[in-house]
Amino acid sequence: MPSISHNGLANLRRRDPREAADQLRRHVKDWLKVTISQGLARNKLLSQIASKLRKPDELTVIPPRDEDELAFLHPLPVRWLPGVGPECDRLMQSAGVTRIRQVADMPLDYLSQLVGSAAGRIRDFARNRDDRPVVTEKPEALSYGHQETFGEDTADPRFVDATLRRLSDEAFARLRADGRQARTVAVKIRYTDMDEHQGQMSLSEPTDVETRVYPLLSRLLGRLWDRRVRLRMVQVRLSNVYEGWIQLDLFGVRRRERDLAAACDAIRRRHGPRALMRVHDLTLAKRADRSAAALRSA
């Protein structure tokens, strides 16, 4: 997989931040054929929000001045604050608290009645106080996750199910490369109104073969997608990770499954993702080809 060398990162650090961000986005698009959205700000809170606010392939820059930062942050809905999940958001909405500015101005004892012990931290975020460090070292994976933010919100269940399976394929390829197995698969969905739902299911024993979780993905999607609202994002995450798990394999069936999956990984690495496709890969490829053709004819 293409990567940026440490020397390359050092060169980026010596350049204008906006220019460095633009170059990084171009390199990712050229090398990996995917788009990324970026947020450039002087703290982690603002840069995280900015990177998610405008998609796809956007760079949002917040000037490092207090008045500009608060002008960006305060009009936003409260759901953008770390620690404010769907339930907390609904509770604050019912209390008439809809904008981050209101949280910043709220007395701490009143906010505590709404969100409990997290009140102080949430109000600090609302006041643009964030001293969290940026962690540059990758910790050892306790779970394996991939997500997809759609270019356009979708109500197509076949497309969403195919996307979940592709994300699962990518997560299991990483899992196998690390010599591990997982027993639990979780799915998260995000609606167009930013409401999120997630759930998980577990196998009877760990596996490193993605086909074993395909039925679980479809069941989870059917359970979670219970509103007639389009989806903006889906995520697949593998957890309950094991290393060196020995499975009873009386007739060698599981071994053949693992060998086949590893062979597929090798073919895709060498010849590209379209060299070997399952049914859900074909579904996604045909949709991508139709979208590309529509853009060319527009």
Name the residue ranges covered by the structural domains of the chain: 6-66, 74-126, 144-297
Contact 251, 155 (CB under 8 A): no
| In contact, 184 and 200? CB cutoff 8 Å | yes
Length of the chain in terms of residues written: 298
Ranking 25-29, 89-93, 274-278 by mean pLDDT, the lowest is 274-278
**Cβ neighbours of residue 47 closer than 8 Å, sequence gap 6 or more:** 39, 40, 41, 62
Strand, coil or helix: 209: coil
Q: CATH: 3.30.70.270, 3.40.50.150, 3.40.50.1220, 3.30.950.10. Which one for 6-66?
A: 3.30.70.270
CB-based burial of residue 200 (10 Å sphere; 0-12 exposed, 13-18 middle, 19+ buried)? middle
Fill in the DSSP letter of residue 207. Answer: E
pLDDT digits (tens, 9 = 90+) for 9-52: 445 556 688 888 888 888 887 887 778 888 889 999 999 999 88
Q: How far apart are CA 166 and CA 210, in angstroms?
A: 10
* In the predicted structure, residue 122 carries a pLDDT above the cut 60: yes
Nearest-Å Rg of the Cα atoms of the chain is 22
CATH code linked to domain 144-297: 3.30.1490.100
Q: Quick one: what percent of the chain has pLDDT higher than 70?
A: 83
Choose the CATH number for 74-126 among 1.10.150.20, 1.10.3720.10, 3.40.50.10860, 1.20.1090.10: 1.10.150.20
pTM of structure? 0.53
Q: Which two tokens stand for residue 22?
A: 């633009």
Helix (H) or strand (E) holding 219, with range, is helix 214-224
Are the C-beta atoms of 122 and 115 separated by less than 8 Å? yes
pLDDT reported for residue 275 = 63
Q: For residue 232, give the H/E element and its range.
A: strand 231-243
What is the amino acid identity at position 130? D
